[in-house]
Chain A
Amino acid sequence: MRLTLFTISVLFLSFIAQGQSKLEKELQEKFWSNTAAQIKAMDIPEKWNEESAVILKDHRYIQYINSGKVVYFKSNKHQLIKIQDQASLEGFSEISLSKDSKISFGWTTTSRKETTIGIRIIKSDGSISLVDIEKEEVEEDDKRKIAIPNLEIGDIIDIYIQTDRKERDYDGLDVYAAVETTIKDNYPILDYRIAVEVENDFFLNMNTYNGAPAVKEEETERSATKMYVVEAQNVDKLETSRWYYPLVEEPSVKLQVAFARKRSNEYAAEIFKGEDGERKASVDKTDVLDYFDRKFNRAYSYSAKEVIAYIKKGKFKSKAEKLQAGLEYIRFNRYTRFFEPIFAYQADIVAGTPRSKCYDLYFGIYEYDAQVVNDLRAISEEFNIDYDIVLVQPRYDGKLDDLLIKGNARVGLKFNTQPELYFFDFNENMTLERFPEQLEGAEAYIGSVVKKKNISSITRTTLNSSTASQNVYQEIIDLSLTDDKKGFEMDRELSATGHFESEYIFSWIHWTDFLDEDYETYKDQEHFYECGSKKELQRYAEQFTALEEKKVEEFRERREKSTDREWDAATVKDYTSTVIETGRYGNNSPLKVKETMTLKDGYIKKAGKNLIIEIGKFIGGQVELDEKERERSVDIYLDHAKTYVYEIKLEIPEGYTVKGLDALNSSVDNVTGNFITTAVMDGNMLKVKTIKTYKSNYLKSEQWNDMALWLDAAFAFNQAKVLLEKK
């Protein structure tokens, strides 16, 4: 028996080995048909001589076919890269790939991946140097690494990589990873091509954007497949800019393939589906309606029973208050109250299955935003709250007309209350007061919901953008000189509203802070460590308290370190930080923390018997535009409109007078934003206030010069100084 098995496996191995070499031969014939002379004769535009490398050819091919229950994907990439300097030489000298894999159960192979790679080098003298992959490659755990031999500046690497993948498909429903890419790359490309071949029972969404060449259909060798291709020539390299979305500005390609064996599977697929085998190039209202129809049945009220009862019991007047209270209830009861047992589990404090009487404390966490969406819909139906279902593509993925990939679309709820409320984000700080900044100002499809009926109509609208006054970052700073007059004692209150709140909450407060507040709000809720045997009760409580202490200590250390980094010209000593408000409850309340510290040896300079204070450094680091950035041809995509406010009070020590206030009173204000500063003396206090406003989240490139005016003013203020003159 042993012998037989051995024989079979040897036969199998040799079959694979022969198969590989046959495949290699086939691929070499296919990809390396051009002679060195032909490759060297490729006409590279002179303007690319100073580039680090030039991609002479970048061809990509993806194929999806199936046979019975097995789906075959083939993807290959063929590139010719001319190395033009040391940086690209070093960069392209080492290649790392993930190892081939095979997953089997019994005799059935459910998944197999084989990667074949070929590398040859066209030397500058026209000779060809072939890389012996088997000899050159080394394996490290799940990686294959190749150091490419004999590669020099001036050489052209001719490389192909093909992956043949086979998956046994059980549920008959697969949505493959989308490809979304600008045609431009880090290096210029002479000849670009991407081709997708799909069998007729696959769905393909594919199109090009922002002036990229149109998708063409090409003949295939198989009768049951279709092939779609995008080709481009002489593509300059991608230049990155500050505040920039490449997929909105640059020629790009998007595509996604899905496979559903049965109608019922098609119904569930997370795609905007077209017709079998036909390329779907755009998404319109009908597609969105079809998607809503498949995904949004009537709300399921059972899971929302508790929250509805809670709302009914409370004295919430308006519909908006009811929703807000409902979400806060869900946020805790369906989410954050499970954090303690999860952290306890991760810290090895609880293990195994809990006692059945304690199940409720461990089980029932919501994992998906869809669960919250369902409950909010049930609440709305219960309390006659008018709401819509919203589908929107984030701004960085392109316009709504350019929507193609379902994974890019964000689906949420819009409640037509006073004020309007939204639900999109599912996390421990979820709120209805705002929705993600990337969706602000984006066009959206609105599916109006009539109570207990499916969505029947779709309209289009532009989602509101929050204003600069809604997103305020503020620091109120009290400063006095240290006794040695070489540093400062500083108290500051940091506060954040709107999107700033979402941005800073993770770094300013610790989970113990918001959990304490949550348990305080919902007083009846037991902790996991209050349920169990007597011994468990003691152990859980003890160990969990120890965990909390440790995590809080680590958090404080992190805060202190990050504050120290903020003040790079001084050393931070005696740091304390206290949470004033988390901003997680109630209407538009800010997140607020207070800090005290000593800034040792910094921001003060001696000038004879006088002192110079670098007062401008107290408004934080400012954007510094370099020469290259001053010319801008692409539009400006900011996170959101926003205001930064700094109110600085500096106590002037006795015996000194302040000089230089005039320069601290300035104003640059235009339609794009502003930077306004005021400085006055009030008794022995120098009071400086600066306001910096980004008025909008999007500006046309023509407005760049206007924006640069107040960015420059803020940078200049950052260098501002006052003189403390000894009387």
Chain B
Amino acid sequence: MKLFVPALLLSLSLLFTTQANAQKDKPTAQEVSKAKTLKEKYKDEDVVISDKKTEITFTRNNKTNKVEVREEIITTFFAIASRADIGYNTGYDNESSIETLSLTDKRNKRIAWNINDEAYSTESVFHNDYRVKYAKLTFPLQGYLRTVKEVKEYKDVKYFTTDYFVEPYRVMKGTMTITIPDWLEMDIKEYHFGSNDIKKVIKKVGADTQITFKINNLSPMKREYRMPGNSYIYPHVLYLTKSFKDNKGTEVTLFKETQDLYNWYSSLVNDVDIQTTDIAVKVKELTDGLTTDDEKVKAIYYWVQDNIKYIAFEDGIAGFKPDSPQNVFNKKYGDCKGMAILLKTMLVEAGYDARLVWIGTDHISYDYSTPSLSVDNHMITAIMVDGNPIFIDGTEKFNSYGTFATRIQGKQALIENGETFLLKKVPQATPEFNKEVYQGTFKIDGNDLVGTINKELTGEQASSFLYGFTGMEQDKRQEVMLKVLTDGNNNATVQNVSDFDPTDRDAILKLNYNLKVSNAVSSFDDNLYLELDPVRYLADWTMEEDRENSYKMSNTRVEQKNISLELPVGYQIETLPDAISIDNQFLQVEARYTLNGNSIDYNSQIKIKNRLIKKTEFKTWNAAIQQIKNFYDEQIVLKKV
């Protein structure tokens, strides 16, 4: 008979030899009591960081002529729950390495630790050089302490850009010490310290400058759906490494000014091998016979949107340097940089002044006043028309020329300009740009509402619809579209959708169809009860009470409905719900029912004015949503004459 447990026990016994000493590692009465007090205070938390010490030092590597960074982080975790099992993870790439990763108990005795090391891939990036080391941390009882020591090294200070003070666990106490040698010119920019207890102390240690941030009781960071990017909310520092003196005393400029950042980007771009023979043939084919600039630019822009797939390789320098445009052209795939350089090359070939543009999407809060690799994460193209850029983004699959995705609107763009650069903002669209309009007529058929809807979509409402539609297997498109047009209403069925051209990015997307909403009408005694809005936009958008972060809507937009219900013969209105009118910092809502001869007109307009719903403003938002929900829920009552 096979023995199941012992086999496991024996094979792993070496790994867990620490358990023999576990009794000495046991929490003291004071530790348990402290853990209990903390748990009482922070009910949803199982582990806190009782102390986190970070020490950052810099050295010159004379061989590579680069500044190297050593970051030593000692984190002591403290279990406040009856038991806790958590993970520790840290990432590295071609430009960095994890030199030490070890675990000790509270007596500083080393604990054997099984560390995994894996390539970290995301769905959006086909291949990158990012790897993650991770391991398990176990706290068998309340009050246990475990300390992790991590040493991470960067081969080039250029890639050492930010440090966050927050962790997934509450940091009770901590220090971050940065020792800046006199040969290194460096600024440390502080973000979102706000009401957080973070104090800065600067002192001289010999020739070095030592900056210490002392932190106290920082709430844990939390990943939440549609939260703003980390750089918008969490306290952190941005390292601006401007220059250093090499061992001969010669100054080497890093990113002193935005110009230096541009120079480096520019050097990478200038290094790209560009062969235009095949591209020129394609450009000619696309623009032949076209007369206006608009037509020509659109022909090229839309060809790239349609024909170049987004497949990203972010391996080493490939994370910053575009692939050759001819490679992207021949392979029919590329990342944002590849698409941007192909678009530029094609447009230049067609005779336009096209430039590459570096930009940070709305995930990043910085602008180019801080020259750092953290400022941007995206590349697009611009065509200069009368000295002004018109931005085009090859990664947006259904963007009409002259329109810009929400994620780059209002963001500062760094535009190529030969030796120098231009800084311009991408125009901000109004909520009216992203619009959904429903015009419809309904009548009552038994328990159902039946009618026709003419729906018009513009802006991102149209582009996301077309993206979803064309990305679907063609044999399933019709079926899925019928489902999508029910707007999530399980009782609705859609039929006879009018034809439309899924490749036409420039037109308003118009969809006419028949809609039936089953069981929308209830009949009790002589009365009919019904609600007219089949979509109930925003009714379920209540912000959860326990949500920690602000909420960022995908875009600002307008939703309009003008629906007319024919009164059934022999009925008159008993009750019409009261109109609502809301106008606050996020929303403008007007919705009303009116009797118009033999029909009830339902007119509503909801405008989302502002994408960001701050945590502090959830109450206002939720009150408005409740008002909207009540309006939808309230029944129209028709009485038999």
Contact = CB atoms under 8 A, between A and B. Distances in A.
Interface of A: 50-52, 84-90, 93-94, 138, 140-141, 143, 145, 147, 149-152, 303, 338, 341-342, 345, 347-354, 362-365, 367, 371, 535, 539, 542-543, 545-547, 549-550, 553, 571, 601, 605-608, 612, 624, 627-628, 659-660, 716, 719, 721-723, 725
Contacts of B470: 85-86
Given A543-B141, A605-B635, 15 more contacts: A51-B475, A88-B473, A93-B311, A145-B127, A147-B127, A147-B331, A147-B333, A150-B330, A342-B4, A348-B138, A365-B3, A539-B23, A546-B140, A549-B82, A723-B522
Interface stretch (B118-126, B363-371, B375-383, B506-514): B118-126
A85 B473 contact: yes
B634 A605 contact: yes
Contact of A367 (B4, B6, B634, B637): B4
Interface string B222-241: 00000000000000000000
Contacts of A141: 118-119
A353 B474 contact: no
Contacts of A90: 309, 471
Contact of B522 (A348, A549, A612): A612
Nearest to B16: A351
A52 B475 contact: yes
Nearest to B332: A150
B81 interface: yes
Given A88-B473, A608-B575, A349 B8 contact: no
A351 B525 contact: no
B85 A94 contact: no
Contacts of B3: 363-365
Contacts of B142: 546
A694 to B, nearest CB: 22
A89 B8 CA distance: 47
B574 interface: yes
B5 A338 contact: yes
Nearest to A88: B473
B82 A550 contact: yes
29 contacts: A50-B474, A52-B473, A84-B474, A85-B470, A86-B470, A86-B471, A88-B473, A93-B333, A138-B313, A143-B119, A149-B332, A149-B333, A150-B330, A342-B5, A347-B83, A347-B85, A348-B16, A354-B9, A363-B3, A367-B4, A543-B141, A549-B82, A549-B83, A550-B81, A605-B635, A607-B635, A627-B493, A719-B491, A723-B529
A84 B477 CA distance: 13
Contact of B524 (A352, A363, A624, A723): A723
A539 B22 contact: yes
Contacts of A543: 83, 140-141
A140 B333 contact: no
A526 to B, nearest CB: 15
B490 interface: yes
A607 B22 contact: no
Given A364-B3, A539-B22, A608 B637 contact: yes
B19 interface: yes
B623 interface: no
Given A52-B475, A90-B309, A149 B4 contact: no
B90 interface: no
Interface string B109-145: 0000000001101000011000000000010111000
B23 A152 contact: no
B592 interface: no
Contacts of A612: 522, 529, 635
B633 interface: yes
A628 B478 CA distance: 12
Taking chain B's interface residues, is the majority helix, strand, or loop, or is none over half, making it mixed?
mixed
Given A546-B82, A660-B524, A719-B518, A605 B474 contact: no
Interface string B561-598: 00000000000001100000000000000000000000
A363 B6 contact: yes
B5 A341 contact: yes
Contact of A546 (B9, B141, B634): B141
Contacts of B504: none
B247 interface: no
B270 interface: no
Contacts of A601: 626, 629
Interface in B491-534: 491, 493, 518-519, 522, 524-525, 529, 531
A140 B125 CA distance: 13
A150 B326 CA distance: 12
A628 B9 CA distance: 55
Contact of B634 (A94, A547, A607): A607
Given A51-B475, A347-B85, A348-B19, A353 B10 contact: yes
Contact of A362 (B9, B22, B141, B475): B9
A721 B447 CA distance: 12
A535 B574 CA distance: 78
Contacts of B1: 303, 364, 371
A9 to B, nearest CB: 26
